Chain A
Amino acid sequence: MELTVTDIQRFCMHDGPGVRTTVFLKGCGMRCQWCHNPETQKGKPELLFYAQKCILCGACAAVCPNRVHTVEDGNHMLLRDKCKNCGACASVCPTKALEISGTKYSSEELLSIVERDRPFFGNAGGVTLSGGEPFLQKDGAIELLRLCRLHGLNTAVETCGYFDPDVLNAAVPYTNLFLWDIKDTDSARHQKYTGVPNEPILNNLERANRLGARIRLRCILVNGVNTDDIHYRRVAELANRLSNCEGVELIPYHAYGGSKATFLGRPDNGKNEWIPTANQLGTAKQILFDQGVKVL
């Protein structure tokens, strides 16, 4: 089973318990305005261009069959419309200023990569599937989770919750922990900022809960978007309603993921005004705490 992967990061400390290897799968059904990993949105491989690494050697222009690259007068221009993401330019670019995001791996290959750090995992650590939305590549993701469990590796899935509900029957038994994003409990706002309503996500969450999934909720705090008390209370209600919820992680928005969009030739989507204040974070923590929710 093949999976399209944007990145594999080892020695991750914040993607679940203990030391973990995180596999980022490409493709997501949501389009959050603040997305930190925009290269994981589309399912197909895409060309990334890091302008600051370019030494204007022209190697890309020489090999590109579609004339995407022009290097002249100290400038490197890309005509992305013409790009077929063939990767010819990336393979000759000496500085890796050009790179194809989205590499195919078989689930067995991925297993052997995550196996490498087993000596560091101890009792708590293991593998985390992230993305993107891992369950958009549902067959591959489930196969990888199954293989990992079969080999005694702890598994976690970082999910936005927006996926085919049928996935859960197969996925829950192979997943030790779900890190479940709740972007917003207000459906209209959810639609506005992420492109989709939140009901399918909440339905999936209920379903996962019924199937016995162990869940940690992760809530991004975006100033001026979801930093209101009603939202925090609804998150608390949600956490309390789940039968096997470890608690809630509050993740303050930060702007430094924004520039990643520029590598795809899109405008920078980072906004400093989205960064929540320490007070807002404190209030959120307090409300959750008052409702008896463990803040992780």
Chain B
Amino acid sequence: MLFYTPNRMTRPIRLSEKTRQFAYDSLNHKYGIETREHNAVSLDEIDIEIYQKMSPLMRYDTAIFQIVSKAPLRICDGERISGAATLGLAIDHRVPATYGGVKIFSSVSHLTVDFETVVKKGINHIRKEAEISLEKHRGTEKEDFLKSCLHCLNCFDIWHKRYLDALADRPEYRANYENLKRVPMEPAASFYEAVQSIWFTFAFLRLCGNWPGIGRIDCLLGEYLKNDLQKGIVTLDEAREILAHFFIKGCEWVAGGDYVSGDAQHYQNILLGGIDENGCDVTNEVTYLVLDILEELGISDFPTSVRLNQNTDEKLLRRVAEVMRYGGGMLAVYNEDKVIEALQKDGYELSEARRFANDGCWEVQVPGKTFFMYLPFDSLHILQKNTLNGYEAGVDYPTFESLYQRYIADLKRAVEALVQVRVEKCNTRNEKGEWVWESLTPCTVISLFERGCIEKGCSYFEGGPIYNIISPHIGGLADTVNSLYAIKKLVFEEQRLTLPEFMRVLKNDWEGEEPLRQYVLTHYSYYGNDNEEVDRLAARLLDDFADICAELNGKCGYRFPAGVSTFGRQLEWIPQRASSPHGRKKGEILAGNSSPTPGTDREGATAIIRSYCNADLSRLTTGAALDLKLLPSAVEGEDGLSALMALMRGFVILGGFFMQLDVADVSVLRDAQEHPEDYQTLSVRVSGWNARFVTLSREWQNMIIEQTER
């Protein structure tokens, strides 16, 4: 029973043989295959005439009732906590219900819900709040939504009861039964109950099709464990076993999916460490237990990030480096100093900023209070198509500055258009011309766990949450910067050819111009090499982009903070991209997130981090991710640990935002392409998520290899 490692190190063993077996079986698809046999519940029993008269909310409520009543229950051999999301359509990001064979509703992701209230106050507390709000809003248009809230809470009860009944029949699950009896309806009283409470609520949300993140699990559980250890109710080893079952059950969707971008992409991120709203370090025993579990089992389904700061304890940093060395991209790091600064700049109170988690991927948000959506776009395409007019004849600019200014104007138009389309989809204008929320897809289940929704009587999609964020995300950053830089050097400084001449070269995809292309590729030092000239250009572009986004605020109920990402879209953007001024031909895989263009970084990891940190990342509120791949040989031994720690320390000191360090070996990845059967559990960091490498499509695999080859 071996859990994959990319190097010669073997993973330590701390968990019981039974738990390890459960992990091994789960990773190897023992559970979850059956989700495809019962993809969804059907509402076909409802007469078509009645169905057509039902409001979307009524249909939704009926679907949820059918789901909780009919979804198969799954109790895995030897599981310590219970509850499972067993309907296949949920894995496709849908509410698993159909009418006439047609899927009815989409579902919600990119958020971390309010597990704090669940664990500490219980579902019944939420029910009371909903009842109070319903009384307050009786007779208004909000009544229907609040009734739907109470209905969905009742549905949660039904499902809970079904599990209790099923467990009661099985004496070997007596402990599970006793533990599930009070939670999540009542506040958790012990560590074991708290873990079950979060898991069961998470499973319920996923059963209904949603993909929430978990958030700061050590914050949620730390006090419970501390108390239980003091009282002698639980030992550290016992607590590790219980928590391990949470992680093992979290890979229940591994087997059921049909994947392109990897099998573990269900936005179920976890955060560790960092400070609380009062500025105190939250790191506790749970933090270290999670790291133990990741290190031993290599489960990558909960992509985990650690919040670092200038004062991060050496002990934690070392432990993080130790776990990172096993690869699989299981751990990433935030520089919370920068993230908190960014959120404050965007208007959040300091205490609120300090509570940040992510959206289940890596975009930053205040958990349990935030509607979040990001709008990705390809900045390189705008340069090529608009500013340089598809390299058609007639493109000319007298100076580099005039070209740059034109590009920023084009960028502004593109971002505004993108936002306009999105906002119009969710909002309408009233007679006074103001934007008002319009009810969209019903999403009551998720709304129960987002503060603001019940109080206001508005769903997650209708402006219910306290913060409502639509974040434009610039993609293709490095390539746009490198393209601009190449034009600046070649045409305006060295004057090797005129801009119209250069446009002809690019229009012909560098055909017959190999020496010039090679010159541009090898003689210029691009983003990622700690070259101040090009890094300043990147910083300027990001500043201008952040300004464009800031100007969008105040016109409707959303805020529009900026971010940087591609999340692998560099693949789908290939067909729309022409050849690039920095020596790239049409069809090449270009840069991801805030990382350099593959093949251009020659100065090593520290130079990449310095280039990335050169911009004022505090203006990119929802995040800017740097992906760094290291060779297994580079992280071996004590030197390897020092290297990882040094990179993380430098990243924090220099003002980075988010960094995904992965350990991978190109030759291993290539071998895995040829012999997938030998690498079932080899996992890699894709972007905000991890994936078993063999479940990625060939194109995605090639992209990972390209990134690793740098």
Cα(A122)–Cα(B318), bound, Å: 13
Interface of A (DSSP majority class)? loop
Across the interface, which residues of A come within 8 angstroms of B516, CB to CB? 94
Other-chain residue from B515, B518, B606, B640 in contact with A120 (beta carbon distance below 8 A): B606
Cα(A265)–Cα(B639), bound, Å: 36
Choose the segment among A8-16, A64-72, A175-183, A196-204 that binds chain B (4+ C-beta atoms closer than 8 Å): A8-16
Q: Are B515 and A11 within 8 A (Cβ)?
A: no
Q: Are A11 and B643 within 8 A (Cβ)?
A: yes
Cα(A18)–Cα(B641), bound, Å: 10
Tell me the B603-655 residues at the A interface (CB within 8 Å).
Answer: 603-607, 609-610, 634, 639-640, 642-643, 645-647, 649-650, 653-654
Tell me the B487-531 residues at the A interface (CB within 8 Å).
Answer: 514-519, 522-523, 530
Q: Are A122 and B604 within 8 A (Cβ)?
A: no
Least distance between A146 CB and chain B CB atoms (Å): 24
Q: Are B515 and A19 within 8 A (Cβ)?
A: no
Q: Are A57 and B646 within 8 A (Cβ)?
A: no
Q: Are A13 and B639 within 8 A (Cβ)?
A: yes
Q: Are B518 and A19 within 8 A (Cβ)?
A: no
Other-chain residue from A13, A96, A119 in contact with B650 (beta carbon distance below 8 A): A119
Across the interface, which residues of A come within 8 angstroms of B609, CB to CB? 120
Cα(A96)–Cα(B640), bound, Å: 32
Most buried by A among B514, B515, B604, B653: B515
Chain B interface residue count, Cβ-Cβ cutoff 8 angstroms: 28
Cα(A11)–Cα(B643), bound, Å: 8
Cα(A2)–Cα(B604), bound, Å: 26
Q: Are A95 and B518 within 8 A (Cβ)?
A: yes
Cα(A124)–Cα(B642), bound, Å: 9
Cα(A66)–Cα(B654), bound, Å: 48
Across the interface, which residues of B come within 8 angstroms of A94, CB to CB? 514-519, 522-523
Proximity string of chain A (116-132) to chain B, C-beta cutoff 8 Å, 1 when within and 0 when not: 11011110110000000
A55 close to chain B: CB less than 8 A: yes
A120: nearest residue on chain B (CB-CB)?
Answer: B650
Across the interface, which residues of B come within 8 angstroms of A55, CB to CB? 514-515, 518
Other-chain residue from A13, A14, A120 in contact with B649 (beta carbon distance below 8 A): A120
Q: Are A95 and B522 within 8 A (Cβ)?
A: yes
Cα(A125)–Cα(B522), bound, Å: 30
Q: Are B522 and A11 within 8 A (Cβ)?
A: no
Proximity string of chain A (11-27) to chain B, C-beta cutoff 8 Å, 1 when within and 0 when not: 10110001100000000
Q: Are B634 and A117 within 8 A (Cβ)?
A: no
Other-chain residue from B514, B517, B634, B653 in contact with A119 (beta carbon distance below 8 A): B653
Q: Are A10 and B647 within 8 A (Cβ)?
A: no
Q: Are A10 and B606 within 8 A (Cβ)?
A: yes
Tell me the B648-669 residues at the A interface (CB within 8 Å).
Answer: 649-650, 653-654
Cα(A59)–Cα(B650), bound, Å: 42
Across the interface, which residues of A come within 8 angstroms of B530, CB to CB? 116
Other-chain residue from A13, A18, A120 in contact with B634 (beta carbon distance below 8 A): A13
Q: Are B519 and A10 within 8 A (Cβ)?
A: no
On whether A10 and B603 interact (CB within 8 A), knowing A18-B646, A96-B523, the answer reads yes
Q: Are B646 and A122 within 8 A (Cβ)?
A: yes
Across the interface, which residues of B come within 8 angstroms of A57, CB to CB? 514-515
Least distance between B647 CB and chain A CB atoms (Å): 7
Proximity string of chain A (50-77) to chain B, C-beta cutoff 8 Å, 1 when within and 0 when not: 0000010101000000000000000000
A124: nearest residue on chain B (CB-CB)?
Answer: B642
Q: Are A13 and B523 within 8 A (Cβ)?
A: no
Cα(A19)–Cα(B653), bound, Å: 15
Q: Are A119 and B642 within 8 A (Cβ)?
A: no
Cα(A122)–Cα(B515), bound, Å: 43
Other-chain residue from B518, B606, B645 in contact with A11 (beta carbon distance below 8 A): B606
Tell me the B359-402 residues at the A interface (CB within 8 Å).
Answer: none
Across the interface, which residues of B come within 8 angstroms of A11, CB to CB? 604-607, 643
Across the interface, which residues of A come within 8 angstroms of B654, CB to CB? 119
Q: What 8 pairs between A and B have smallest CB-CB spacing?
A: A120-B650, A94-B518, A94-B519, A119-B653, A119-B650, A19-B646, A94-B515, A11-B604
Residues of B bordering A, CB below 8 Å: 514-519, 522-523, 530, 603-607, 609-610, 634, 639-640, 642-643, 645-647, 649-650, 653-654
A-B contact pairs, 25 of them (CB 8 A): A11-B605, A11-B607, A11-B643, A13-B639, A13-B640, A13-B643, A18-B646, A19-B606, A19-B646, A55-B514, A57-B514, A94-B515, A94-B517, A94-B522, A95-B518, A96-B522, A116-B606, A119-B650, A119-B653, A120-B606, A120-B646, A120-B650, A122-B646, A122-B649, A124-B642
Q: A9-B604, A11-B604, A122-B645 are in contact. List 8 more A-B contacts (CB 8 A).
A: A13-B639, A19-B643, A55-B514, A94-B518, A94-B523, A116-B610, A117-B606, A119-B649
Residues of A bordering B, CB below 8 Å: 9-11, 13-14, 18-19, 55, 57, 59, 94-96, 116-117, 119-122, 124-125
